Amino acid sequence: YLEQVQQSERLKMIAHLTAAVAHEIRNPVTVVRGFLQLYRENPAFDTSDRSKFALMIDELNTVEQVTSQFLSIAKPNRELLQVERVDVREVLDGVASLLGSYAMLSNKHIDIQAGEDCAIFMNAIEFKQVIINLIKNALEASDTGAMVHVIARRVKKTVEIQIIDQGCGMTEEEVKALGTPFYSLKTNGTGLGLMICFNIVQKVGGSIKYQSEKGKGTTVILTFPAAGPS
């Protein structure tokens, strides 16, 4: 019981801290990105420099994503999140290009195969958050030169999304620990990404399953109730 109390106190404390930090990070990021956007369009720089500015902007976008992710733990019921029809393929393509330069830095690649008939009902930002977290984990688990495959398809009344990597994989014990706050085997990990993902997926009546083999790789299978034709 004591452990549970300590855990919830820790969560509360981290919630306060993250809200403050996230807020403080956002403003300078916005300013720096504004300048980079100007430089990117400035003909005084050559094409190679301008593409580096684009990369920096992408990285800042990632910083912002992570920040808002932390904010969402800090204030989970901040407002009633608007539920809308989400075109899964569109979001996957968007996330792939957002994470593209991040992956390219370590020579890793993302391949998206998504059906046109994959629509779901949920908050688009939350859906994106889940996908970003899962693809990032897959990239982080992978070796240089690796490819992460993302496959989305309609299966009866559900939309199934698989995120497949051939990275370090996990033992059965490690898979069981997924989603536990602060559980991370990474040097710079927060161990909060999957906790957020599990929460979001469960909230919309979806499911998340892991198939993993140590040293071979991991497949995450996400399932969401499908939205009917618009």
One-letter amino acid at 194 equals: L
133 contacts ligand ADP (rule: CB under 6 A)? yes
227 contacts ligand ADP (rule: CB under 6 A)? no
**Which of ligand ADP, Mg ion, none has residue 170 at its interface (CB below 5 to 8 Å by kind)?**
ligand ADP
Select the residue interacting with ligand ADP from 110, 119, 165, 222 (CB under 6 A): 165
Are 39 and 55 in contact by the 8 Å Cβ rule? The answer is no
219 contacts Mg ion (rule: CB under 5 A)? no
Residue with smaller CB distance to ligand ADP, 119 or 192: 192
Neighbours of 211 (CB within 10 A): 14
Taking CB under 5 A as the criterion, which residues in 112-141 touch Mg ion? 137
62 contacts ligand ADP (rule: CB under 6 A)? no
Select the residue interacting with ligand ADP from 88, 122, 141, 201 (CB under 6 A): 141
193 contacts Mg ion (rule: CB under 5 A)? yes
Phi, psi for 218 (deg, rounded to 5): -140, 140
Residue with smaller CB distance to ligand ADP, 152 or 163: 163
Select the residue interacting with ligand ADP from 185, 209, 216, 225 (CB under 6 A): 185
The two tokens of residue 90 are 């569109």
Q: Can you spell out the DSSP letters for 148-195?
A: EEEEEEEETTEEEEEEEE-SS---HHHHHHTTSTT---STT--S-HHH
Residues in the chain, overall count: 230
Rounded Cα gap, residues 189 and 180, in angstroms:
13
Minimum gap (Å) between residue 191 Cβ and Mg ion = 8
Nearest Cα residue to 139 out of 113, 111, 109: 109
Chain positions contacting ligand ADP, by CB under 6 A: 133, 137-138, 141, 165, 167-170, 178, 183-186, 189-194, 218
